[in-house]
Amino acid sequence: MTKAVYAGSFDPVTKGHLWMIEQGVKLFDELVVAVGINPDKKYSFTKAERLLMLRDSTRHLPNLQVDAFDNQFLVNYAQRMGAQYILRGIRTGSDYEYERNMRYVNDDLVPSVNTVFLMPPREIAEVSSTMVKSLVGPEGWESILGKYVPEPVLELFKAKTVDR
């Protein structure tokens, strides 16, 4: 049985993330989608909100587990979860350079966990969490944001902006 981990901050979940997750459940017998927690990073959404966004956005997918981890290397987390693979997305040349280097470091740490890279389709390749957050605020943002995030994420954004 093949098992992979797809990790990120998911702050917030985008349609690009969802595409990666949907491909991952097709490629592997089991996929763990893990929210990575970096104590030095400032997030727009809490860990609980990010987990909720992921669970609500992926309910339709089989063989999927949503989890979180902190204070450990991703490759060590993957090994602890019994995964043979780490799933990573490549959108740009700089993503490739970074991910290639991380793949080599991960291989030094845990050679039994391999990295699989996927490139998203052109129409969502430039979608990032940072870009998505920058769209919130101006008049009509909800209709624009809906093109880039799953419905549960859009609803959470709407609820958060009402609280402001």
Tell me the angle at which helices 151-162 and 47-57 cross, rounded to the nearest 10 degrees.
140
- What's the pLDDT score for residue 123? 87
Instruction: Assess contact for 50 and 35: CB atoms under 8 A.
Output: yes
pTM of the full predicted structure?
0.92
Closest CA to 37 of 13, 11, 55, 4: 11
pLDDT > 70 in the chain, percent: 98
User: Does the structure show a pLDDT above 60 at 38?
Assistant: yes
- What's the pLDDT score for residue 160? 81
CATH superfamily of 3-162: HUPs (3.40.50.620)
* Rounded CA separation 27/131 (Å): 28
- What's the pLDDT score for residue 1? 94
User: Does the structure show a pLDDT above 80 at 164?
Assistant: no
- Give the model confidence (pLDDT) of 69-123 as tens digits: 999 999 999 999 999 999 999 998 999 999 999 999 999 999 999 999 999 998 8
